[in-house]
Amino acid sequence: MTFPATPNDTPVGIPRGTVTYTWGPSTCPDPNNKDAHYLYSATDEGNHTTVYLRDTNKRVTQINYPDGGVEKFTYDATLGTVATHQVKAGGTETYSYYQTANGDPPYENGLVKEYRDAYHTTGNANLRYQYDTSSRINAVTDALGTSLGDINHTTSYAFNARRQLTTKTLPVDLVDGTQHRVVNGRCHQVHLLQLGTAPGDAGSTSRRHQQHLFLRLPVRPDGPQDAAHLSSRFGRRSTYRNLDIRQCWERPTFAM
């Protein structure tokens, strides 16, 4: 592949940049890649070469970078999906999968069950995934969760018939002890219990709610904080104060 010439090169007359690809020739140093259908190496304009090594199934098992960095991959024996990935920095991340052979339902077969980085090889996984019957992620539990679906450390999702994300339910709020839902980019329904001035807090308006405000937020939380921008701020427990700094903001998100 040769790039077009660029004007005003210094010095004048620099040759057009060329990237060269080598596709598994019969003389390929990799015994598993003597096949012209699979890439063996790529050399950039500066003559820096990246080499791709493969297993007998032609899957990439190692990438050797021109700076000496190395990436390595292993694969699940049943599914053929990536099981481990050694990053250039040296740490290894691992993936496990749902499988019908292990008694998992068919709609989860082959989907990621757990992800672990190099620092969580034992104990709780970084992320644990759950899926609905349409194979969409409907819950993600973080490393602090005691089990998959632990409401204190799980974010869950709901979809409409068009497969668009409609609702995200957050883990239990450490301040007010409830789970808050984000519905189509809004904080969920509020029940106003009391409106008035907070005692001892001059100039501050206080509202008590059972849940978060049901308001659209057209700007990011760090945007202008005047009435024209309709930013909402949430205080401790069930009290809203317009001088507090906790905020709730969410963009609509769609799953394709």
* CB-neighbour burial class of residue 187 (10 A; exposed 0-12, middle 13-18, buried 19+): buried
pLDDT at 224 over 80: no
CB atoms within 10 A of CB 51: 18
Residues 183, 223, single domain; the answer is yes
Boundary of a domain, candidates 68, 86, 104: 68
What pLDDT sits at residue 252? 37
The model's pTM is: 0.64
Residues 51, 80, single domain; the answer is no
Please report which confidence band the pLDDT of residue 175 belongs to, taking 50, 70 and 90 as the band edges: confident
Residues 248, 191, single domain; the answer is yes
Residues 56, 7, single domain; the answer is yes
Residue 187 belongs to what domain range? 160-256
Residues 129, 169, single domain; the answer is no
Residues 169, 242, single domain; the answer is yes
Mean pLDDT calculated for residue range 160-187: 83
pLDDT tens digits, 39-81: 999 999 889 999 999 999 999 999 999 999 999 999 999 999 9
Residues 37, 119, single domain; the answer is no
Segment among 156-165, 174-183, 247-256 with least mean pLDDT = 247-256
Does residue 216 form part of some domain? yes
| The 3-state secondary structure of the chain, one letter per residue | CECCCCCCCCCCCCCCCECEEEECCCCCCCCCCCCCCCEEEEECCCCCEEEEEECCCCCEEEEECCCCCEEEEEECCCCCCEEEEECCCCCEEEEEECCHHHCCCHHHCCCEEEEECCCCCCCCCCEEEEECCCCCEEEEEECCCCCCCCCCCEEEEEECCCCCEEEEEEEECCCCCCEEEEECCEECCCCEEEEEECCCCCCCEEEEECCCCCCECCCCCCCCCCHHHCCCEECCCCEEECCCCEECCCCCCCCC
Does residue 198 form part of some domain? yes
Residues 29, 80, single domain; the answer is no
Residues 56, 83, single domain; the answer is no
Boundary of a domain, candidates 22, 38, 68: 68
pLDDT tens digits, 234-243: 333 334 333 3
Mean pLDDT calculated for residue range 203-210: 46
With pLDDT > 90 as the criterion, what percentage of the chain qualifies?
Answer: 52
Mean pLDDT, rounded, of the chain:
77
Boundary of a domain, candidates 149, 172, 193: 149
Distance CA 136, CA 125 (A): 20
What pLDDT sits at residue 232? 40
Please report which confidence band the pLDDT of residue 246 belongs to, taking 50, 70 and 90 as the band edges: very low
- Domains of the chain: total: 3
Residues 142, 174, single domain; the answer is no
Segment among 32-46, 105-119, 121-135, 208-222 with least mean pLDDT = 208-222
Does residue 155 form part of some domain? no
Does residue 154 form part of some domain? no
Residues 42, 91, single domain; the answer is no
Q: Which string of b and e fits 232-253 if b means at least 16 CB within 10 Å? A: bbbbeebbbbbeeeeebbeeee
What pLDDT sits at residue 80? 95
